[in-house]
Amino acid sequence: MQHPRELLNAYVCGQNIISLLKDSFASDRNTEEMIELAYDLQTGSYIEALNDPDVLKYNMQYGRAIAEEILTLTAPSSILEAGIGEGTTLKFVCDALSSANPQAHGFDISFSRIACCRDWLAATSSKNVFLSVASLFHLPYTDSCFDIVYTSHSIEPNGGHEKEILKELYRVASRYLILLEPGYELSSEKSQRRMREHGYCRDLVMHAGELNMQVIRHELFPSAINYRNNRNFQKS
The pLDDT tens digits along the chain (236 residues) read 566 677 778 778 888 878 888 877 778 888 999 899 889 999 999 999 999 999 999 999 999 999 999 999 999 999 999 999 999 999 999 999 998 899 999 999 999 999 999 999 999 977 789 999 999 999 999 999 999 999 999 999 999 999 999 999 999 999 999 999 988 888 899 999 999 989 999 999 999 999 999 999 998 887 644 333 344 555 64
pTM for the model stands at: 0.89
CATH class for the domain made up of 51-234: alpha beta
Which pLDDT value is given to residue 232? 54
Q: Which amino acid is at 5?
A: R
Torsion-angle region of 115 (φ positive above 0: left; ψ -120 to 50: alpha; else: beta): alpha
| Cα 64 to Cα 96: distance, rounded to the nearest angstrom | 5
Domain boundaries, the chain: 1-42, 51-234
| Cα 29 to Cα 198: distance, rounded to the nearest angstrom | 9
Beta-bridged to residue 129, according to DSSP, are: 104
Which pLDDT value is given to residue 48? 96
CB 219 within 8 A of CB 181: no
CB 148 within 8 A of CB 79: yes
Q: What is the b/e burial string over 78-112, where b = at least 16 CB atoms within 10 angstroms of the residue's CB?
A: bbbbbbbbbbbbbbbbbebbeebebebbbbbbbeb
Q: Which amino acid is at 125?
A: S
| Cα 129 to Cα 121: distance, rounded to the nearest angstrom | 8
CB 181 within 8 A of CB 231: yes
